[in-house]
A = this chain, B = another copy of it.
Amino acid sequence: MTEALQLHLGAFARLTDDDRARLARIAARHVREIGPRRDLVREGEKPRAMILILDGWAATYKQLRDGRRQITSFLIPGDPGDANVFVLARLDHSIASITPVRYAELSQADFDALVVESPSIARALWGHELATASIHREWVLNVGQRTAFERIAHLVCELFWKLEAVGLTQGFRCDWPLTQADIAEATGLTSVHVNRTLQQMRREGLIEIAGRKLAILNLARLQCVASFNPDYLHLGGGAADLGSSSRQGQ
Contacts and interface: CB of A to CB of B under 8 A. Distances in A.
A243 B88 CA distance: 14
Contact of A88 (B68, B69, B82, B134): B134
A178 interface: no
Contacts of A169: none
Interface string A87-99: 1111011000000
A239 B88 CA distance: 11
Contacts of A2: none
A223 interface: no
A57 interface: no
Interface stretch (A135-143, A156-164, A196-204): A135-143
B133 A140 contact: no
A90 B60 CA distance: 26
A141 B72 contact: yes
B240 A90 contact: yes
A65 to B, nearest CB: 6
Copies of this subunit: 2
Contacts of A137: 60, 62, 72-73, 92-93, 136
A134 B126 CA distance: 15
Contacts of A82: 130, 133
A145 B68 contact: yes
Interface stretch (A15-23, A212-220, A227-235): A227-235
Contact of A130 (B87, B232, B234, B239): B87
B89 A227 contact: no
A126 B72 contact: no
Contacts of A92: 134, 137-138, 231-232, 234
B136 A133 contact: yes
A243 B64 CA distance: 15
Given A69-B145, A83-B130, A92-B138, 16 more contacts: A60-B137, A62-B138, A64-B146, A66-B227, A68-B145, A68-B146, A70-B141, A70-B144, A84-B134, A88-B130, A88-B134, A89-B237, A92-B137, A93-B137, A140-B143, A143-B144
Interface of A: 12-13, 44, 60, 62, 64-66, 68-70, 72-73, 82-84, 87-90, 92-93, 123, 126-127, 129-134, 136-141, 143-146, 187-188, 227, 231-232, 234, 237, 239-240, 243, 250
